[in-house]
Amino acid sequence: MIVRIFFIISISIGYSSAQYKVSIPGGVQIKRSHFNRSQIENDLQSKYSNLLTATRNAASSFTSLYVSTQSLTAYGLGSYYAGYITIGTPPQQFLIVFDTGSSNLWVPYQKGAEKKHKKYNTFNCNISTTCKSTKRRISIKYGKGMAKGPIMKDIVCLDGLGVDACTNKNQRFACVTKKTVKGAFDGILGMAWNSMSVGKIKQPIDQIFRNKSNCPEEVFAFWLNPNTEKTTGGGEMSICGIDSTKYTGEITWIPLAKTDYWRIKINSVYFGTQLIGNQTFGIVDTGTSLIAGPPSTIDVILTLVQAKAKKDGTYKVNCTQKSTFPTLTFYINNNTFDLTPENYIQQFNKKEKQVCLLGIMSSGPLNMWILGDVFIRPYYTVFDKANKRVGFAQSVTIT
């Protein structure tokens, strides 16, 4: 059985398979604030800070307190794709960011008879007949803050209805205090590898993959509509199979360099005919809105497109010159992946004037490429856990 989840940029999602379909109306277009590279760069450093040091802050074994460096603020300021999951019996529904750049599931927590938050859905263990406390707590660093809360066990379903694509009642997840949650979503479902999970808590997708009768393939895939002007049908995530209607041509498979994040080797990068980088790593990250690269490489791009840094953290370029900008090409495993100016520049209407913002930024001291939504939109992206690889194919555009 293939589970398909449809979602809208930062607002809505649905679920569909041969038997089920849920449609949530509404949605918003990508906004200027989604290109705030200053905020996103800070959050990337927090999210991937374990790559900057020789040792991780996360506990290597199951202890009473876990610590990680996952960002909880990048999503509110970047464009993100979210969908509904449910937890508990009866099901409690949450709008979740599907993030291949982190590895933990967390939702806001409601203690006992505490009043529900006005903006977010909160999980209440007391009203779930299958919920059980582990009597353990979790601590997640984000930026300058800290999210803390208990670790619970309950049924998690990825169909948004509590009917299908479900774990058993022993799935562990983090409950964080509502004060730490920012953005229009409720929580985050990390979909990187368990090796990066705080406290080595295994992900819900692992249990779903183990059910071979319902899930014959250990894969999930993202289609993000390249048409960012459309406010409905923003994208789709499929689980246990690939949706062949969302791409054209063949899927190009790239082996993973390491099973921590979805990390691949990038042989070289060209901007037009100019070589601007080679022999580095890239992380395919659905939870980051832009493309981020090594500072020296990005400096070359900024100079060539004459980008101007604005006070709101964005890079502005001249819209009239957009069509003359070079193609950004990634050479990966002897394959080329091109991004045209239409892909890496977002054009907005502002008071009857056209404003063009660059969807490329520095990854700071990470000194590697983060292939976020700007890269994923033109390429249907498949995450193959069984074969430890990612696949890319040309995305279908819905107008």
Compute the distance between CA of residue 55 and CA of residue 302 in angstroms, rounded to an integer: 33
Q: How confident is the model at residue 147 (pLDDT cuts 50, 70, 90)?
A: low
CA dihedral 128, 134, 139, 142 (to 10 degrees): -40
- Catalytically annotated residue among 43, 99, 154, 164: 99
Q: By percentage, how much of the chain surpasses pLDDT 90?
A: 46
- Catalytically annotated residue among 43, 285, 373, 384: 285
> Which DSSP state fits 333?
T
More confident residue, 112 or 291: 291
> Which of helix, strand or coil describes residue 233?
coil
For each of the domains in the chain, give its residue range(s) and CATH number, in order of start: 3-20+27-220 (2.40.70.10), 245-395 (2.40.70.10)
> Which of helix, strand or coil describes residue 344?
helix
pLDDT tens, 51-87? 765 333 332 222 233 332 222 222 333 356 778 899 9
The yes-or-no answer on residue 99 being catalytic is yes
Nearest Cα neighbor of 232 from 396, 27, 376 is 27
More confident residue, 37 or 289: 289
